Amino acid sequence: MVERSNLDRRQLDRLRQQHCGPVLAPDDDGYDVARSIWNGMIDRYPAAIARCQRAADVIAAVRFGREREVQISVRGGGHNVSGNAVCEGGLMIDLSLMKGITVDPGTRTALAEPGLTLKEFHQETQTFGLATTMGINSDTGIAGLTLGGGIGWLMGKLGLACDNLRAADVVTAGGDLVRASEDEHSDLLWGLRGGGGNFGVVTSFQYRLHEVGPLVLCGAVIHRADKAAEVLRFYRDFLVNAPDELGTVVTLRRAAALPAIPERLHGVPIVQIAACYVGRPADGERVLRPLREFGPPELDLFTVKPYLAFQGMFDATAPKGWRYYWKSHRVAQLSDPVIETICGRAFEMRSQRSYSIIVHPAGAVSTIPEGATAFSGRAPAHEISVNAATGPQDPDDCEWCRDFFQALQRHSTGGVYVNFLMAEGERRVRAAYGDEKYARLSILKARWDPDNVFRMNQNIVPART
């Protein structure tokens, strides 16, 4: 079952002696659970899984893998669609047990370990009425999200997750623990702010927090698909005057059978505009009035409720274990030709579970200079992600996903959000950063990981020296 491994039981016993957490071999209890991740399409068998509980465990695992020249993969929350968290026949460093978090309401900072999900992170910070930008699905892990940039509901007002990363503790490819901050190894901090897991294993993140909620005006409006073109044109014009406090995500899919959705809409093709207003709900009512009145919508789900509850809004429609296949483009604007392409393709999926989303990073994201972080693509634009999603009995939708992606190609800026990538090769990784920034990242990679130990990711190849 396990291939390309030179690890045996005797060697794993040595690692166990240095490791506080469990070290699992393929015949150990809990191995299959530990190797499973959000995307059910990923079915790989590591030779060993080191389930870390502290930074010392990570150091021991990295050194062990390097000494034996086995492939290393790193799992945080295990949510990333590409599946790079799990290697075949190598050593999987599993951080999902590392869930410590300390919030300092006085300095508005949080010190968080990499095994936390967005929900777990904000359960703690919202106790103090604080938050930071953290994605759109609450079961996403904070580590991969942040290291890839971290778009989310709050980004218009607060910037990306990586923009709120103040410092990090990192286990390097050499097995050393270093601190990356503005004062120590600032080049490494620059790379961690969007460069993915290329430069080391982060064992602790320090975030800047902001006053958010705990109650916010949030929800969605739903229209039937036959109105999708006029809804998207309205949405495009609505964004022109929308304040930074308003975060939005457009979803095109068949309506899920959820308690909040009336039965008459279950399985019906829809376009949904979800939004969260970060500010006084009374101000949000005025901002959202045009959105809620246009059409009018088939369903209006806006209400004032806890931000923590809203952040889990999409969880039930994309649960762990389904098979996911994504293809994504960045477009500069929702022009009429782009809208025509979207409406002509979005509802041709075969699976009831497949969907497409449109996310609009702008506001505070765009005020930070392009060169300030490794994250690339700060000019206001739209990230369009086409997501084939299938359960055990659903027809495969990968062909629909690829065809939709190809149809959008002529409208693309050439860029893409790195966290939306599958395993698509170096050309697409370069597209996520652009040639100039990729070259800078490649030099940084050569400094911190010249042997490309951390290559199970959206890999940046070390520059030749």
pLDDT tens digits, one per residue of 170-206:
999 999 999 999 999 999 999 999 999 999 999 999 9
Q: Grade residue 7 by pLDDT with cuts at 50, 70 and 90.
A: confident
Across the range 287-311, mean pLDDT stands at: 97
Q: What is the predicted pLDDT for the residue at 6?
A: 63
Burial class (CB in 10 A: 0-12, 13-18, 19+), 124: middle
DSSP 243: -
Say whether pLDDT at 134 is over 80: yes
Task: State how far Cα 402 lies from the chain centre.
Answer: 21
Taking Cα atoms as reference points, which of 364, 213, 209 lies closest to residue 280? 213
Reply yes or no on whether the pLDDT at 380 is more than 90.
Answer: yes
- Rounded-to-integer distance, Cα 166 and Cα 315, Å: 28
How far apart (Å, rounded) are the C-alpha atoms in residues 276 and 292? Answer: 13
Domain at 9-94: CATH code:
3.30.43.10
- Model confidence pLDDT, tens digit, residues 344-378: 999 999 999 999 999 999 999 999 999 999 999 99
Q: Of 21-30, 32-41, 138-147, 308-317, which gets the smallest average pLDDT? A: 308-317
**Nearest C-alpha neighbor of 347 from the set 393, 404, 306, 407:** 404
The sign one gets for the Cα dihedral 147, 149, 150, 155 is positive
CATH 3.30.465.10 intervals, the chain:
101-211+441-448
What class, spelled out in words, does domain 101-211+441-448 have in CATH? alpha beta
Residue 263 CB-density burial (10 A; 0-12 exposed, 13-18 middle, 19+ buried): exposed
Q: Where in the chain is the domain with CATH 3.30.43.10?
A: 9-94
Percent of the chain scoring above 90 in pLDDT: 96
Q: What per-residue confidence (pLDDT) applies to 3? A: 43
Listed residue (194, 456, 187, 447) closest to 464, CA to CA: 447
Whether 45 shows a pLDDT value over 90: the answer reads: yes
Average pLDDT over residues 334-343: 98
Q: How confident is the model at residue 1, as a pLDDT?
A: 38
- Residue 2 in this model has a pLDDT that exceeds 60: no
According to CATH, where is 3.40.462.20 located in the chain? 215-420
- pTM of the model as a whole: 0.96
Cross-strand partners of 390: 323
Q: Please state the separation of Cα 204 from the chain's center in Å.
A: 18
pLDDT score of 5 = 58
Look at residue 8 in the predicted model and tell me its pLDDT. Answer: 82
Return the CATH number of 215-420, one of 3.40.50.2300, 3.40.50.1980, 3.20.20.140, 3.40.462.20: 3.40.462.20
pLDDT band for position 207 (cuts 50, 70, 90): very high
Lowest model confidence (mean pLDDT) among 2-11, 226-235, 328-337, 435-444: 2-11
pLDDT mean over 445-454:
98
pLDDT over 90 (residue 48)? yes
User: Across all residues in the chain, what is the average pLDDT?
Assistant: 96
CA distance linking residue 350 with residue 457, whole number of Å: 30
